[in-house]
Structure 1
């Protein structure tokens, strides 16, 4: 009997490339989760934040949002670059950049109007100080120009300017990944390292720096694009390793213990002084290495326990979160606007935990309802467009 070698099991890609027209629902699910967490962190940073990941580790929802944004952008526009060419794909990317920019300007106008009305008409000037719009009230002309240049923005409006800059660089990143994917990722890592070493940054008006340094946060965006265009497939064996999973769990456990010392100072003596000097400060602005490692550990565990084709993706209970992820730009803007409204109401009535939870649930319900309406409208427009094509002679 002839010898037949045993077949070696090849692990499936951690995050698979979808066929044209299909959606990777896991990306929508986790981006929707990130939008919900961002809203909760903003509407009730003191109480409801205990229900978000930032209270149990080094990273938060921002890392999830930026990584998935890089992944989905590369997946959509990378395919367009292959099918329609560089010029058409670049035009589509720039159109998306314009949409994000327009959404940012509209959100800025709405938020400034809302806070200004409360601060002036209701005689609550401390809200203007908290939301950092005092400079706008003092010099509206200059502040508006600086806002259009992305150098001035109220509190909680830092993600969209970062997203705009990263998307604007995508026409350069996509061809580089197609030509030399690993070299592109290495260049991104090098820029991140240089940023940490030499403090590269962008300034804001009237003083200070970008809360999300694009020179550092570009690493997560490029990493997402790299994974979308083949990187995840190349890492499949590594990500499926039990050792990788164990190390990820241990890192999350260590991070959880460190965060406990922030809320229970009596535990601080358990952390060696030299270790404290090494890990602090854990800087969000420049995407500290510990934050990056924490996000990667979360991602490794997430793709292990939520594999492709996971039945829960069809659950009616998760569908609102998925719909929010599928309409991320609109829902993000709505969440920021709702978060200040909720924060103002909760502050004025000195609400307790029950009302904070109720406000969080109401905001998430409004976001989910808006996402459903947007999805219904898009499906309706697509259906009408399809009918129009079929009836043409």
Structure 2
């Protein structure tokens, strides 16, 4: 049975306590074993290193989000959505918390809290402006489809934008406040709020390495107990409740700051693996009862009362457990030196994962365009497949264009000043 070696999880980046090229042990990595209350975060990725598994699975999450949106009735059978309690959203939020802690945690603890917070807020502003631009693009798409379609009311109600067409001025103000958004535009507002509170996570980590996770668990319990949530325009609520989903984001950050390293013994346990497999199988069976009602009789009534409802809005604990079980299995069979990471088949996913914000926004815009096309043509399974693949190809091409542009501009900026045109 494959095992998670120390260079494996800690190289959810490249060896936390490994020696550097000079033969010296990274003092941050060394601090993992010295004290629980530290003044520096316990980064599990060496400075300057990139963990391709993070990019690979973030790209996979972006692809699955697009597929789930463009063809919710056909192509979702090619994603994890119909095979368990969690879906691509959990994967995206966890990796977002993990990578944010790596990037901005290092900046915060090396350059100071003020500078680190400024960099976090700059990223928050970038996500916010991307959200607003995506809103404008999506509303333009909806307006065009409504104008040319024979069933305009269908798209207005399907995308939950009736208020915008009724009173666009007031709704635009609510959009700026993140209190109004069309269907499928819930992830970026959640990401904005979670990123805005990331400096607080670093402050707690400075006091004690496990304090952020402990505070997050407590806040999650209070959220479920007292129904804490954020409201939306016209007495609604956020589809992804930040008060609950912060648990997954903070858990990702905690793993990046050294928590993952301390979990290696648990992850290497055969008991952990088989419990994870058993839970995944049980979740698969329960999920199948939603699509094949004849299977419902095999689930005892008392068990149904315990597990239902499996609430996505408030990030049900069963969804969290399902994500953890998937993570245990994946880490066993996809080590850091997995040859597949260098495969040309993995390259598109890795590139999309490296430009996650751009790819996500493009995927949401493309998903509505593809969905409207499929609805207008009353398309069958074959056309659903073609539209799905075409959208993925566009996302890959755009990510590759960004990669080329970054290379071209970097080469130009490194050229001698005298060789540059005035």
Question: What does residue range 1-393 of structure 1 map to in structure 2 within 5 Å?
Answer: 11-12=6-7, 14=9, 15-16=12-13, 17-123=44-150, 124-388=152-416
Give yes or no for contact 2:149–2:376 (8 Å, CA) kept in 1.
Answer: no
Tell me the number of residue pairs that the alignment of Structure 1 and Structure 2 aligns. 384
Shift of 1:382: 2.3
Residues 102-160 of structure 1: CA distance to partner in whole angstroms, max 9, x if unpaired? 00000001101110122134452210111011100101011000000000000000000
Question: Relative to 1, partners in 2 of residues 1:127 and 1:20: Cα closer, same or farther, differing over 3 Å?
Answer: same
Give yes or no for contact 1:40–1:48 (8 Å, CA) kept in 2.
Answer: yes
1:5 matched to which residue of 2? none
Give yes or no for contact 1:282–1:291 (8 Å, CA) kept in 2.
Answer: yes
Give yes or no for contact 2:85–2:319 (8 Å, CA) kept in 1.
Answer: yes
- Which stretch of structure 1 is more off in the superposition, 305-314 or 25-34? 305-314
TM-score for both structures, normalised by structure 1: 0.95
- Which stretch of structure 1 is more off in the superposition, 307-316 or 15-24? 15-24
Equivalent-residue separation in structure 2 for 1:179 and 1:212 (angstroms): 29
Give yes or no for contact 1:105–1:148 (8 Å, CA) kept in 2.
Answer: yes
Residues 44-102 of structure 1: CA distance to partner in whole angstroms, max 9, x if unpaired? 00111111101000000000000000000000011111221111111111110000000
Q: Aligned to 2:232, what secondary structure does the other structure show? A: coil
Give yes or no for contact 2:7–2:336 (8 Å, CA) kept in 1.
Answer: no
Equivalent-residue separation in structure 1 for 2:222 and 2:110 (angstroms): 35
TM-score for both structures, normalised by structure 2: 0.88
Shift of 1:381: 2.0
Equivalent-residue separation in structure 2 for 1:192 and 1:13 (angstroms): 30
Give yes or no for contact 1:335–1:367 (8 Å, CA) kept in 2.
Answer: yes
Equivalent-residue separation in structure 1 for 2:183 and 2:115 (angstroms): 36
Q: Aligned to 1:308, what secondary structure does the other structure show? A: coil
Gaps of 5+ in 2: 14-43
Question: Relative to 1, partners in 2 of residues 1:371 and 1:180: Cα closer, same or farther, differing over 3 Å?
Answer: same
Give yes or no for contact 2:97–2:252 (8 Å, CA) kept in 1.
Answer: yes
Question: Relative to 1, partners in 2 of residues 1:390 and 1:184: Cα closer, same or farther, differing over 3 Å?
Answer: farther
Give yes or no for contact 2:8–2:335 (8 Å, CA) kept in 1.
Answer: no
Equivalent-residue separation in structure 2 for 1:388 and 1:193 (angstroms): 58
Gaps of 5+ in 1: 1-8
